[in-house]
Structure 1
Amino acid sequence: MRKIVIGIATFLLAALYALCSLLPQRQCIVCISRQSDSAPIDFRLIKDYCERRDPAWEVIILPKQLRNPTTYLLEMIRQVYYIATSRAVVLDSYCIVVSLLHDRIRVPVIQIWHSLGNMKRFGYTAFGTDEGHSEATARLMHMHEGYDAIATSSLSFADEFAAAFNAEPAKLFEAPLPRVDLLLDEQHRARQREAILAAYPQLRGRDTIVYCPTFRKQPAANEAEAAGALVDAVDFDRFNFVYKPHPVSKQVIDDPRIVTIPGGQFDALFVADVIISDYSTVIYEAGLLDIPVYLYAYDWATYREKRGLTIDFENDVPALFTDDPDAIIKAIEDKEFDAEAYRVFENANVTLPENASCTETICEVIIRAATPCKKKS
């Protein structure tokens, strides 16, 4: 039954795409995301660069999370129209339309993914894990098929990254995400920090610990208990505690002593003096910001079984890795963190371009692919 439904959906999408392909193409790049309902910062930076470039390129951003299948069908129709009338497609996540029309799309499709660094198995390398997709469904949906180029923040893990997309390593190109430019821009960092402090004045006067756990498809049984224990371990006379939830996480930490700063207008990382995470690629962003990192592995025994990993957190990451919240807070208080060792780890996962910004690097790859617009073989 599932195969029949997917076959019908593919036929209808293909018919709509063929119809829309009769319309004129514009010098336009369409960026599609399922990560949020607002334009991701990476796409906003791509848009700003391309529209200021000479010659300029129009950039259309289509962000939409898949919450309601009925309303998402309308979004898929919109996606088909822009894919058919643009000269390149850029994705930061899995796109149903692109995958189902993988062999019909006549313009280049560039996948930039939404995470920095190499850490977890996903896509084709996550089959058989609790956090991964069903292999049968993924293959029926042609998941991650149809990409002409795939950005990665470092070619040091090219084989693992290519395997996740079931793609040839030759399709990969080294280009960290555009938002890395903002992390490296001291003036931007200072402006963002001040904006956050203006919005949350209670954070002034003390160092701020930012807690940003990864998303878990199946929350750990001890999630609430572990979060409460971590908050209780903090000396609030010395530190602020900010919770930065994952964009698609439903976890809430209900404690009047903490400040929750969700994604959107502000990125809590810019106000952080210390970061506590677990198995999140946020640890690479922290490295770019030169902020000490501590790893709270309260569900390590079960998480490593549910979620395939590509690095050994206990030995590869030069940061305290423990399920003991008191040990983490003591290490923070004593400033126990090897910044030099962490810098080496960071450089192995994020290779910065030498003669251009990250935004320029990734945009020029996209524009070269779209100029001239060549049909796929």
Structure 2
Amino acid sequence: MARELAIRLYLRTFSILFSIFSILPLKSKAVFVTSFGDNTQYLLDEMDKQELTWKRVILRTSTSKIKGKDDGHTIVFNFETKNIIHLLLSIYHLATAKRIIVDNYFGFLAAISFRPGVTCTQIWHAAGAIKKFGLTDPSIAERTPAAKQRFIDVYNMFDHVVVGSDVMAGIFKESFGLTDKHILYTGIPRTDFFFNQPALTEAQRILTSRYPEWADKKTILYAPTFRNQTLHSGKIALDIDLLYRELSQKGYVLLLKLHPAVTADVELESAYPGFVHNLSDYPDMNELLLAADCLVTDYSSIPFEYSFLGKPMYFYAYDLEEYQQERGFWEDYTTSMPGPVSRTTNELIEHIKRNGIDQNQLSAFNQKWNRYSTGQSSKNLVDFLFKNE
């Protein structure tokens, strides 16, 4: 109850301030509200490339990895912080911008209404979806009526949602309660990386110079979905000791990409020197995907991007039934993943040793989820947003 009251007070205050600032005229500026940053960065780079004169305002949360900085075209503010000045300026820019671009769910959208001539575009933070979210998330049944209505009000603010596939279009329509008119088939901006040969070459050069010890190794990237119980326990479910004993002598190294709040990886790195590498703070996920000879994950959205590279994927779903009950899946998990599903570390090791890869399966998965992401996604979206005024 106290949490709900705090949310209502925050949104009411936000609404009043937004209404006051809405008296001011609209300007040709784009406000990016970001808690991730990847897609936003690609759009900013494309705007620079096209030399657009639109002013850019970045409202970033504490989790955003956006590299934007204040310059002649761009202003950066910390968003959803206790900094009153940043809050006021953020609301001012939201109330006076013609383009709003968001990459996640932001509750403030339930408290405001944009004026005619303003569009709000959801660029989301994943190219595909394994687990359910939005109005289809099973946990929504436990929320209060006020919270449920707030979710709906937020989703109703999206004029456009960017997708890379017909499958994801259907998922967004069901999850956000949208229709065909809301869907933009421009492709996912950050996937342009996989079609940009100079960028791929430069990323490979950076990785080689930074980690020369990987040159003659087979790299396994372990990037699991974040779980609350992992945060509280400080442990991961994968048996690292068993992996070390079975794979280290066969030329493998293990790269960890875990949630920043999970600290067990630091201890593992010191416990298995030369085998475990803690890359949880590495800023560019695409570069890590390029470095990995194979991927181990579970229910994350990483496989949708990794499928561009045509390399092996293994799925370690030790808590499959529990997770399915809690979150729900869009498809049958064991048959829809583009690689073998393991329930134990022993099973995972056996799959890695076999090194089997079904290129037809990987290609079909990539085509299914990335049909419209063909290397021009950032340009497609920038053209749509800023050249149709």
Structure (1/2) with the larger helix percentage: 2
Give distance in 2, aligned partners of 1:70 and 1:352. 36
Secondary structure, counterpart of 2:280 in structure 1: coil
Give distance in 1, aligned partners of 2:112 and 2:242. 47
TM-score for the superposition, normalised by structure 2: 0.83
Establish whether residue 269 from structure 1 lines up as the match of residue 289 from structure 2: yes
Give distance in 2, aligned partners of 1:158 and 1:233. 44
Establish whether residue 280 from structure 1 lines up as the match of residue 300 from structure 2: yes
Establish whether residue 178 from structure 1 lines up as the match of residue 197 from structure 2: no
Q: Which stretch of structure 1 is more off in the superposition, 139-148 or 289-298?
A: 139-148
Amino acid at match of 1:242: L
- 1:322 to 1:269, Cα distance in 2 relative to 1, 3 A: same
Establish whether residue 48 from structure 1 lines up as the match of residue 45 from structure 2: yes
Alignment of 1:216-255 (within 5 A): 216-219=227-230, 224-228=236-240, 231-232=243-244, 234-237=246-249, 238-246=251-259, 250=262, 252-253=264-265, 254-255=267-268
Correspondence for 1:139 = 149
Do the aligned partners of 1:80 and 1:97 also contact (CA within 8 Å) in 2? no
Do the aligned partners of 1:210 and 1:241 also contact (CA within 8 Å) in 2? yes
Correspondence for 2:342 = 322
Alignment of 1:1-377 (within 5 A): 5-35=6-36, 40-53=37-50, 55-65=52-62, 71=82, 75-102=86-113, 107-128=118-139, 136-140=146-150, 142-219=153-230, 224-228=236-240, 231-232=243-244, 234-237=246-249, 238-246=251-259, 250=262, 252-253=264-265, 254-255=267-268, 256=270, 257=272, 258-267=276-285, 268-352=288-372, 357-368=376-387, 371-372=388-389
Give distance in 1, aligned partners of 2:282 and 2:111. 30
- 1:230 to 1:251, Cα distance in 2 relative to 1, 3 A: farther
Q: Which stretch of structure 1 is more off in the superposition, 93-102 or 282-291?
A: 93-102
User: 1:269-314 CA deviation, whole Å, 9 max, x = no partner?
Assistant: 1211111111111011110122210101111121111111112120
Shift of 1:353: 5.0
Amino acid at match of 2:186: A
Correspondence for 1:375 = none
Secondary structure, counterpart of 2:248 in structure 1: coil
Amino acid at match of 2:100: V
- 1:216 to 1:135, Cα distance in 2 relative to 1, 3 A: farther
Shift of 1:339: 1.5
User: 1:107-138 CA deviation, whole Å, 9 max, x = no partner?
Assistant: 100001000113211111104369x9666424
Give distance in 2, aligned partners of 1:318 and 1:77. 47
Do the aligned partners of 1:89 and 1:108 also contact (CA within 8 Å) in 2? yes
- 1:7 to 1:240, Cα distance in 2 relative to 1, 3 A: closer
Secondary structure, counterpart of 1:235 in structure 2: helix
Amino acid at match of 1:260: N
Amino acid at match of 1:172: I
Secondary structure, counterpart of 1:284 in structure 2: helix
CA-atom RMSD in angstroms: 3.0
Secondary structure, counterpart of 1:179 in structure 2: helix
Provide structure 1 residue ranges, at least 5 long, that are not aligned to the other structure: 373-377
Give distance in 1, aligned partners of 2:176 and 2:167. 16
Secondary structure, counterpart of 2:173 in structure 1: helix
Identity of aligned residues (%): 20
Give distance in 2, aligned partners of 1:242 and 1:158. 33
Do the aligned partners of 2:246 and 2:349 also contact (CA within 8 Å) in 1? yes
Give distance in 2, aligned partners of 1:144 and 1:233. 49
Provide structure 2 residue ranges, at least 5 long, that are not aligned to the other structure: 64-77
